[in-house]
Structure formats: C-alpha cells, structure tokens
Amino acid sequence: MVCPITCGCHNSLLDISEKTRVVPQILRSTRKIWKNELIAIFGRKCVRTKTDEISEQKQAQEKRNSDLYSTSMQYTVLGKIHGKEVYQVPPQDAALLLEDRISLKLRKRLKHHNALEGVGQLANHTCCDIHWNANLEVAVIDHYEETDTEPMGILRARPDVEQDTEILTRYWHKKEDAWQIYSCVSAVLAKTILDICLTPQRQQRPLPKTKRLL
C-alpha cells in the first residue's frame, strides 16, 4: 500500500516528481533518498486486470519480443495485488503494440492511459547486488474506505540512495507470496543475460548493446 499524499510520509507520493531526473535515458536521484522511501512511479500507463485481455497482451508481447526485426517492449510490468494479476503498459510499449495485428478491443484499451505522470519505467536493470538500489513493486494508494483503486508500478529504495545516483532495479525476481514482476526483452538476449547473471564464475562474454537488461 502507498499512503495518501495528504499523509506526507516517505511512503506517499508527496514530491515524487522532484526526487529524480532523467539525464539522457538514465534515471538519477536529485537528493538523498532514504531506505524504503518511494523513489518514482510508472507514469501514464494503461492497466489490464481482466484475464482475457492479459492473455492476449502476453501473446502479442511475446510475439513482438521474439522477432529479431521488431523493437522489443521494455517497460511493461506484470504483477499481482490482492491476489489479482495486473498488467501495466506505459505509452512507450503501447505504441509498439498498436503497430501490430491485435484485436479491436485490445487496441482500444491500449489507447487509454491514466493521467498519472511518472518516470519510473526509465530505471535500468542491474544484475549486481551492490548497485541494485531500488525494488520494483505493484501497489495501490490506501484510501481507507475505497478498495477499488488503480494499481501502479513504483520504485522503492532498498538502501539509502545518495544524491545524483543512478536508480537501478531488477525486472525479474519472485517473492514468497508468488507474485512476479518483470520487463520483457528479446528472447535472443535473454539466455545470454541469464547465463551471465546466474553463473558469475564463468568467463563473461560481452553483451550486445541494449538499453535495458532482463
């Protein structure tokens, strides 16, 4: 849960847009951010919660990301909240899917985004435990009486983050409650990336240039 902005604590969205800046294509902190404090949110995304829409979205995304000649989707987040699967698609990825052959229903949904601004989707991935300074979560704002609030992707500080530090997260990991969050990349890169991440004792091969890892 995220506290209402009126709370003003580090778990609220108070001054959320002032905590980071984008220097080109890199998300950096503008001040010291304390452990467990919210860093940024994923902005202007469309949210899928219906099973049929999520199924079609996954198929379309997998098809695009497995095509060597197509631009891969990099910013979409899948998670669970209150036991319900949630798919969050920022405008960058929605624009790619709208180029593909998808149903009219999904096309219509992808054109609808909320007005919540944020740059959390620009945080890059790291396999390094030392540089991993932000956890990726799916959360809703706690409105007490209201329970049907729209989920959002958030970045939360793992340790204290010093000013002018690049924000780095992980787009693949599993929690004990079984929900998973990830960002998809080309299937061609995935095996190479996992080999390097999961078997550090092996001699590392140079990665193809890409903005975001798995």
pLDDT score at 208: 45
Overall average pLDDT of the 196-208 stretch: 50
pLDDT in tens, 171-182: 765 543 323 344
Confidence bin at 144 (pLDDT 50/70/90)? low
In a domain, 6, yes or no: no
In a domain, 49, yes or no: yes
pLDDT in tens, 6-19: 888 999 989 999 99
Q: Which two tokens stand for residue 93?
A: 């990825």
Average predicted confidence (pLDDT) for the chain: 78
Range of the domain at 182: 16-198
Percent of the chain residues topping a pLDDT of 70: 77
Overall average pLDDT of the 78-107 stretch: 86
Q: Per the structure, how many domains does the chain have?
A: 1
Q: Residue 31: CB partners within 8 Å, gap ≥ 6?
A: 18, 19, 163
More confident residue, 110 or 197: 110
Would you say residue 63 has pLDDT above 50? yes
Confidence bin at 199 (pLDDT 50/70/90)? low
Confidence bin at 168 (pLDDT 50/70/90)? very high
Overall average pLDDT of the 190-213 stretch: 48
CATH number for 44: 2.170.270.10
Which helix (H) or strand (E) covers residue 197, if one does?
helix 187-198
58 CB neighbour count, 10 Å cutoff: 15
Q: Residue 209: CB partners within 8 Å, gap ≥ 6?
A: none
| Distance (Å, whole) CA 187 – CA 214 | 10
Residue 151's SS3 state is coil
Overall average pLDDT of the 27-42 stretch: 95
In a domain, 141, yes or no: yes
Confidence bin at 53 (pLDDT 50/70/90)? confident
Q: What share of the chain is helix, strand, coil (3-state, %, to 5)?
A: 20, 25, 50
Confidence bin at 133 (pLDDT 50/70/90)? very high
pLDDT score at 113: 80
| Distance (Å, whole) CA 96 – CA 87 | 16
Would you say residue 186 has pLDDT above 70? no
Strand-pair partners of 141: 2
In a domain, 177, yes or no: yes
In a domain, 11, yes or no: no
Q: Which two tokens stand for residue 162?
A: 């010093």
In a domain, 204, yes or no: no
In a domain, 158, yes or no: yes
pLDDT score at 143: 63
In a domain, 4, yes or no: no
